[in-house]
Every structure is written in structure tokens, then in C-alpha cells.
Amino acid sequence: MSGDVLAPAAPGPTGVPGEVEDVPRRLTSRHSLQDQVFIHGSRAIGYIVLVIISAIGIFLGLQAIPTLRHYGLSFFTEYRWLPSQDVIGIAAVFTGTIQVAVIAMLLAVPLALLSALFISEWAPPWLRPSLIRITDLMAAVPGIVFGLWVLLFIQPHATHVTHWLSKTFGWIPFFHVRTDVDYPIWSQAPGYPAYAGSAAIASIAVAMMIFPMATSVMREVLSEAPLGEKEAALALGATRWAMVRTVVIPFGKSGIIGGSMLALGRALGETISVVLVISEAFEIKPYVLESGASTISALIASKYKEATPSQLSALLAAGFLLFCMTLVVNTVAAVIVSRSRSGSVTEL
């Protein structure tokens, strides 16, 4: 009709007349039955683990209340463990726990990092699966096996090493031993003659137990370093070690730290191997090469059988402290590992 006038089209969202508004389409996903079973099963297992851990923490905390009421802060500052005299404290075993864990970390973490780098970067393809299986198999070896191995085979040779360290570097408090290191038969010197059963030797057994765990976590993260960045470094003329130092290690920094802290959580609670090797002594001292020390887990294992109800409460209070330490360390390690770059997309 000639008399009709068409109205102008309404402007679109960008101001262009006639443009249709671009509305994002809502996507819905439907999981298959198998996926739903896996998702709900995994969620249920996670809730069960959370409930169990919470129940253990609540139980230990409630059992520790009588001891904390009776001894107060002296329970954490007293180093002697003399139940017959009503003198009980965990300062010495707490110090020994830290000493054993730190020395074990100093021994295990460098070895684990070098092993992880070798498996992921230098090992031949035909050898790499075997090395991975051997490392994973070591994590399944019981602690008593490592304890007996160190007690019967390593300790007789390790005492010669610790004697040499104390004789050469005895001016450092860490390596000092309160005995005559120049005594003709040094293993029979007066005072504190024995080098066996020290925190340093017990740390060897702990280090062998945490080594496969740290190696597995580090290898998993280092093996996912971006292939494009690695090839670019090699194409620019970098040696393999330079490529590892500038690309692989910075990429896996979070995994290295996380694996080390997970190993630390295991080292803090190691029991049977420490009980077999260490000579129990309740004393706060920096002399880790000297015989005599104790840890919280070793204290609980050695005193539990003969403990009275009041002593059992004290042991559970010590266990509650160890539980909190391990929980904090493992939580921090899990956060660090989850924030690593592992699985990120490689862009060329």
C-alpha cells in the first residue's frame, strides 16, 4: 500500500538497526550412569575420610583434656618423662621429632629430586617404566623392613661416618658429641660413648621411607613440563641441563615443594623404624650424632603397653599434638600441589 509507512527497525545491542541480540545458549550436561556412580562414590569416600579424620581429632582432643588440666603448660615445657614422680612433659620428644624429620628431609629430598629428574628427563624410554614401578614398590615396603635394614646393616658403618663428622666438624654444635673423639677405642670412650642409636642414624631409616613418596610426586609434576618450551630451549642451543634448570624445575617448583612437605608429614609420624633404631633418651640437645633421642611416635609405641590410665591420657595428648602437626603439614602440601601448573595448556 502506497500510504503505509514502515517504522524504522529498533537498534540492536550494539546500536545497529535490525541486529538480533546475541544471547548465550545455556548448556546442560547429562552424565551417564557410570559417571554418576563414579562422581557420587568419590564424593561419598571423601566425606567418609573427612568424618574419620575429624573423629580421630575429636577423640584425641577429648582424651588429652585431663592431662592438660593436670599439668597445664608444663606438659609442653617439661622434657622429663617420669610418671612415678608425676613429672611428664613432651619438650624432649617434640624436639627429637623435629630433629629426625629435618635430617631425614635433608637426606631424602635432594635424592628424590635427582631421581625424579633422571626418570623424567634422562632415563631411556625402555628403562623409565621399570624405574617408576621400582620407586612405587618402595613406597609399599613396611617400615619395619627399613628399620631392621638400618639397624643390622647400615648402623655399624654409619657410626664410623658419624665419628668422623664429630671429629672433623665437632666445633659445630650440630656435629658435636660429648665424649673424647680421640679416645683410642672411640666406641668405648667414657661419658657418652655410643654413636649408635642417634637421631641422625634413625633419620636414615625415615629418609628411605619418605624417598619414594617425594620422588613419585616430583616425577609426576616434572613430567608434565610444557613440551613446547622444552623444545624451544633446546632449539635455541641450550644443553639438556640448561633446559631442565630454566624450564622443567621452575615449572615443577610447586610440585617439588608439595612433594617435600608430604614427605615431611610422613617423617613426623614414622614409628616402627625409629623405635628399632633409636636409643630412647629424654633430653633436649642439639647433638644429633650422639646416642640417645626420642620422638613422639616412638614414645607412644614404647610406653603404651605399660601405661596407666593417667599415663595413657598423656600419651594421647602427645598424639594429639603430632596429629595437629601432621594435619597442618599435609594440608599446606595439598594446597601447594593443587596450585601447581601441572596440566596447563602448552601454547607455541
What DSSP assignment string belongs to 146-215? HHHHIIIIIHHHHHHHHHHHHHHHTTSGGG--SS-TT-TTGGG-SSS---TTBHHHHHHHHHHHHHHHHH
Is the pLDDT score of 51 beyond 90? yes
Mean pLDDT score, 34-42 = 86
Name the band, by pLDDT with cuts 50, 70 and 90, for residue 346.
Answer: very low
pLDDT of residue 16: 55
Q: Residue 135 pLDDT > 70, yes or no? A: yes
Residue 39's alpha-carbon distances to 44, 46, 173, in angstroms, are 9, 11, 55
**Residue 37's pLDDT is what?**
87
144-202 tens-digit pLDDT:
888 888 888 888 888 888 888 888 888 888 887 877 666 555 555 544 456 788 888 98
Question: Could you tell me what percent of the chain has a pLDDT over 70?
Answer: 85
Q: What is the pLDDT of residue 307?
A: 80
What is the homologous superfamily of the domain 93-307 according to CATH? Answer: MetI-like (1.10.3720.10)
pLDDT at 342 over 50: no
pLDDT at 128 over 70: yes
Judge whether residue 44 has pLDDT over 90. yes
pLDDT greater at residue 287 or residue 32: 287
| Residue 193 vs residue 40, higher pLDDT | 40
pLDDT grade for 1, boundaries at 50, 70 and 90: very low
Task: Please determine, for residue 48, whether its predicted confidence score (pLDDT) is greater than 90.
Answer: yes
Q: How far apart are CA 166 and CA 176, in angstroms?
A: 5
Locate the domains of the chain by residue range. Answer: 93-307
| Model pLDDT, residue 14 | 57
Average predicted confidence (pLDDT) for the chain: 81
Share of the chain above pLDDT 90, in %: 9
Beta bridge partners of residue 88, listed in sequence order: 81
CA–CA distances in Å: residue 99 to residues 85, 122, 242, 271: 27, 34, 35, 14
**Closest among 222, 239, 169 to 200, alpha carbons compared:** 169
Interval 14-18 mean pLDDT: 56
CA-to-CA distance for 295 and 297, rounded, in angstroms?
6
The pLDDT tens digits for 205-251 are 899 888 988 898 888 888 888 888 888 888 888 888 888 888 888 88
Angle at 335 between CA 333 and CA 341, to 5 degrees: 105
Q: Give the per-residue pLDDT at 11.
A: 56
Average the pLDDT over 85-91 and give the result: 86
